[in-house]
Amino acid sequence: MMDLSTIRAGFVGFGEVNTPREFITTRCETAANELRRRGVTLVDGGIVSDDPDGLQADQAAAALAKEPFDALVVCIAGWIPSWAVLRAIEPFKHKPVLLWGLSGWREKDHFVTTADQAGSTALRAPLAAMGYKLKYLVNFKDSAPRYDEAAAYLRAASAAAALRKAKIGMAGYRDMNLYGTLYDGNLLKGVIGAEIEHFDLLELQEIIAGIADTDIAAQSDRVRTTWQFQREPQPGTIENSVKFALACQQKISDRAYDAFSFCDVDGVKKLLRFAPAGAMTLLHELMAIPTVPENDSYGAVTQLIIKALTGQNPAYLEFYEFTKQSALMGVPDYVPGSIVDGPITVMPNAFGSFGEGLLNVSKLKTGQITIARLFAQDGKLAIHAALAEAKTPEAWEEAGWAPPAPQLPSLEVVLPYPSDQFLQHVAGQHYIVAYGDAMALIREFGAITGITIIE
């Protein structure tokens, strides 16, 4: 499973042998401590100068090799001949590198510098030419140090490393014969590393048959007492949802899945004869795992990317309508409790020929959001993302639900530019939602993985 508990980075500081050591050490320690304050666990390689025999560089390399990390901070606190830096970091060339030039300080009425940016500018082009996966960042002498930007890059690096071990469980394949939910397994594995493991709905049906009646009763009672029902469900509706949720939970736990998708319309609804919205709502309460229906492969991977970058358990929303500047986005089934404003609210209802399920009709949180979707384009992966403002939409309904029609969980998503501009790149009907501004993290993730980011 993905380990999202720690952002891990190597850290080594550099400064020329003739510069007073305390000028280098003090500022590197400050930078390191500021990263720790932002949740970064550091593997400390110490301070390196250009001693003639390269002993300090060798000591740094040996120290960094003792523990795993996901990216390397090359902290330049003064002029440093490039050979000393390369000698220390060459064993870690395969890792993302943050080349970070610090800045000097003020003493009364003048500024003092150790030529930090002489050292950093001398390194950028050679490191890029040598194939290092590089982010170059300098502190400006007239601005606050860029600690947050440095930490964001390291968070993205750890997210990319975590996704190399990610596994998505998927019940069924290609719901409704959709094309936009298909994926290229070789491309996905090669670029991101995530694995999608398919299994049949029959496995969940067999698990359901073995669930204890006491477990079903306990969860059913909890649902009745903690959720708000807009009307009384038919006998068995709650129990159907509970049984399917517990079966999914067992399968996910047994196989250590990091995300989950399933065949919805042509699967659960058609074969099991009920809508699984209530089951997925409950599953999100039982375990912090992102889910998306309809065998949405790249949607599930997008959820893992957003979760690794932000720590949120992200939801999916679907496009229903557009204005010239906004989109009406909602879901015809369920949302995780993490994005609900107020109590979980459900309406027992059926759609078309499908049996009754517990439709989640909760009100959603508003505010700044980031919407994103991973997709394949010309044999390469890309992410389409936008920063938007989420508002409560006007009253509306989706035709086809048994009357009285529900008000689906939804948002009026105001885009930062005309909708036509967004629509020229739209990559599917499902987009993944993160609350707050995740654009900088998504850009860093794209730079590290080589995935194109479209804004």
48 close to 60: Cβ distance less than 8 angstroms: yes
CA distance 257 to 260: 7
CB 38 within 8 A of CB 71: no
Provide the pairing of β-strand 357-360 with 345-349.
antiparallel
Average pLDDT value for residue range 361-371: 97
Q: Which DSSP category does 258 fall into?
A: S
Q: How confident is the model at residue 406 (pLDDT cuts 50, 70, 90)?
A: confident
Structure confidence at residue 352 (pLDDT): 58
Q: Kindly report the number of other CB atoms within 10 A of residue 140's CB atom.
A: 11
d(CA 275, CA 351): 8
- Cα–Cα distance measured from residue 263 to residue 173, given in angstroms and rounded to the nearest whole number: 6
Cis peptide leading into 404, omega within 30 of 0?
yes
Q: Angle at Cα 411 formed by Cα 405 and Cα 416, nearest 5°?
A: 150
Predicted pLDDT of residue 429: 96
pLDDT digits (tens, 9 = 90+) for 67-115: 999 999 999 999 999 999 999 999 999 999 999 999 999 988 899 999 9
Q: Are 270 and 238 in contact (CB under 8 A)?
A: no
Give the chain's count of helices (H) and strands (E). 13, 21
pLDDT, tens digit (0-9, with 9 covering 90-100), for 212-239: 999 999 999 999 999 999 989 889 899 9
Q: Of 7, 88, 28, 82, nearest to 55 (Cα)?
A: 88
Q: Would you say residue 356 has pLDDT above 90?
A: no
Task: Break the chain into its structural domains and give their ranges.
Answer: 7-163, 167-454
Q: What is the mean pLDDT of residues 411-432?
A: 97
Measured CA to CA, the distance from residue 443 to residue 427 in angstroms comes to 17
Cβ contact 229:346 at 8 Å: yes
Instruction: Summarize the confidence of residues 171-186 as an average pLDDT.
Output: 94
Q: Is the pLDDT of residue 121 over 70?
A: yes
**pLDDT for residue 421 is more than 80:** yes
Both tokens of 286, joined, read 């039982």
Nearest-CA neighbor of 299 among 169, 181, 140?
181
Q: Which two tokens stand for residue 452?
A: 């194109």
In 3-state terms the chain splits into helix, strand, coil percentages (rounded to 5) of 40, 25, 35
Superfamily of domain 167-454: L-fucose Isomerase; Chain A, domain 2 (3.40.275.10)
From the centroid of its chain, how far is CA 433? 10
Distance CA 122, CA 81 (A): 8
Output the pLDDT for position 218. 96
Residue in 315, 342, 343 with CA at minimum distance from that of residue 329: 315
**Backbone region of residue 273 per phi and psi (left: phi > 0; alpha: psi in -120 to 50; beta: other values):** left
Model pLDDT for residues 337-347, shown as the tens digit of each residue? 999 999 999 98
Architecture of the domain delimited by 7-163: 3-Layer(aba) Sandwich (3.40)
Please report the DSSP string for 376-432 in residue order.
EETTEEEEEEEEEEEEPPPS---TTBPSSPP--SEEEEE-SS-HHHHHTS---SEEE
C-beta of residue 90 within 8 angstroms of C-beta of residue 72: no
240 three-class SS: helix
Residue 1 has pLDDT above 90, yes or no: no
pLDDT digits (tens, 9 = 90+) for 137-174: 999 998 999 999 999 999 999 999 999 999 999 999 99
Amino acid 353: pLDDT: 56
pLDDT tens readout for residues 4-59: 778 999 999 999 999 999 999 999 999 999 999 999 999 999 999 999 999 999 99
d(CA 32, CA 9): 10
Q: Is this structure's pTM higher than 0.85?
A: yes
Q: How far is CA 127 from CA 121, 188, 359, in A?
A: 10, 28, 54
